[in-house]
Amino acid sequence: MAVTPAREIAFEVLRRVEGEGAYASDVLHAELGSSIKATDAALATEITLGVLRWRRLLDFLLDRHMKKAVERLDLPVALALRMGAYQLRFLERIPARAAVNESVELVKNARKSSAAALVNAVLRRFAEEKGSPAKKFLPANVPLADRLGILYSHPTWMVARWLARFGEARTTALLEANNRAALLSCALHNEGSRDDVFRGLEEAGLRIRPGRLLKNAFAVAGGSVARTPAFLAGAISIQDEASQTVALLLGVRPGDRVLDLCAAPGGKTHMLARAAGLKGLVIAADRHAHRLSAMQSQFDRLGLRGAHLVELDATGELPFRGTFDRILVDAPCSGTGTLARHPEIRWRLRRDQLAEFHALQVRMLCMALRYLAGRGRLVYSTCSMEPEENEDVVAEVLSQSPEVQCVPASEAAKMIARYLAAGVSASDIFDENGQFRTFPGASQTDGFFAAILQMA
């Protein structure tokens, strides 16, 4: 029996994610070229991200039928079991026979034929109870963090942290949001082209929904945005709304000198360059040459010529003589605000890494402030939900820099008001300290944090 292209692709992507530390979105992008049918691309994406999101629950349910835990099996066998189990439990339109038989074939194709009988037997038993609620199989008196961690497939240590900060109801909402497919949000680059762009997207079969935060943002579904004329012509870009908002917080003016210190993949850079205009100077920096090369390809698509790319380590001495009117430090972080989009992060991140990120972020922010011009403005941002990477970083740096202060909430609100969608208030996205926050589920965006700093 042949394995369908969708399952072959999903299996290979999962193998690289689990075995090589790759990111699913990057590998899927490389695997799902124009020669792949849209239906195969959709199923491959669904299985890949679904298995990554629900791995803990799938393993918990599978382990009930096995003498040896799934995570201790050879990787190809574990992947085949998880793929079959995900299809059986979550994809009602997939016939059970197809889910089981193709998982067996995947094991054989991976030269693990000795495990074929195991996969077949376990998945057939799994199929018999696929309609039973998972909580039925939990032992009595399981601690809340473990219970939620199993049922919503997150590490217990992560759930415990969120319970302590957000409480059970809000934590559960966050876990649910992390297990839903992330919205595919886009930025419209020219307000005047809105009607033509939307008409073209609809003719290509896409469904359009207005942005939740920004006037010039919108979400799409039902097709491939990257294959549409509007995308190829540079009229739109794919970018989460919270990420778009961070770039707007800088308030870049025509002619400004702008430094985007951790620029890749470049979604915010092109917004800064458009705002600075031809008389401005925009430097986009990153420590990885291959990411700068990918940025240049995006800038070529957008017809953007105003950004200068520089390879550097932002934690060390910067190679600039002058200062900048605007600096963006979109710092490397744990990414816990993007678990819907990058579910593999939840299994890779270790609790002790938060302290490591904090130290790196403090060094980076302190270095960037040395290059901020008088009366200049700096935005520090992350896509993390963790205080160690957000308000704790800002507080530590401000304690060492009396000449720097946070922009007040009232001023931050005025800066962003003209960009907000109808019905959105600045109080929805800023806290009392003027710090920008989005919460997955509530805002239907990634979870972002940003603080706007300026010289006192």
- Whether 449 shows a pLDDT value over 80: the answer reads yes
Bridge partners, 163 (sequence order): none
Nearest to 97 by CA among 58, 60, 123, 65: 123
In the prediction, which pLDDT does 261 show? Answer: 95
What helix, strand, coil percent values describe the chain, rounded to 5? 50, 15, 35
- Whether 386 shows a pLDDT value over 90: the answer reads yes
In the prediction, which pLDDT does 443 show? Answer: 84
In the prediction, which pLDDT does 128 show? Answer: 93
The b-or-e profile of 221-244 (16+ CB within 10 A means b, else e) is eebbbeebebbeebbbbebbbbbb
Range(s) for CATH 3.40.50.150 in the chain? 241-455
The class level of CATH for 241-455 reads alpha beta
What digits encode the pLDDT tens for the residues 135-179?
Answer: 999 998 999 999 999 999 999 999 999 999 999 999 999 999 999
**CATH number for the domain running over 184-238:** 3.30.70.1170
In the prediction, which pLDDT does 1 show? Answer: 64
What digits encode the pLDDT tens for the residues 434-448?
Answer: 999 999 988 889 999
- Whether 339 shows a pLDDT value over 80: the answer reads yes
Nearest to 288 by CA among 319, 264, 260: 264
Distance CA 130, CA 123 (A): 10
What digits encode the pLDDT tens for the residues 258-310?
Answer: 999 999 888 999 999 999 999 999 999 999 998 999 899 989 999 888 789 99
Range(s) for CATH 3.30.70.1170 in the chain? 184-238
In the prediction, which pLDDT does 364 show? Answer: 97
The better pLDDT of the pair 248, 413 is held by 248
The better pLDDT of the pair 360, 222 is held by 360
Average pLDDT of every residue of the chain = 94
Domain at 5-137, CATH homologous superfamily: NusB-like (1.10.940.10)
Q: β-pairing, 281-286 with 307-311?
A: parallel
The secondary structure element, H or E, covering residue 188 is strand 184-188
| Active-site amino acid positions | 383
Distance CA 159, CA 209 (A): 32
Q: What percent of the chain has pLDDT over 90?
A: 86
Cα distances (angstroms) measured from residue 36 to each of 6, 49, 93, 377: 9, 18, 21, 46
* Per-residue 3-state assignment (H helix, E strand, C coil) for 8-20: HHHHHHHHHHHHH
- Whether 29 shows a pLDDT value over 80: the answer reads yes
In the prediction, which pLDDT does 223 show? Answer: 84
DSSP secondary structure of 91-105: -TTS-HHHHHHHHHH
DSSP secondary structure of 341-407: T-TTHHHH--TTHHHHHHHHHHHHHHHHHTTEEEEEEEEEEES---GGGTHHHHHHHHHH-TTEEEP
In the prediction, which pLDDT does 266 show? Answer: 86
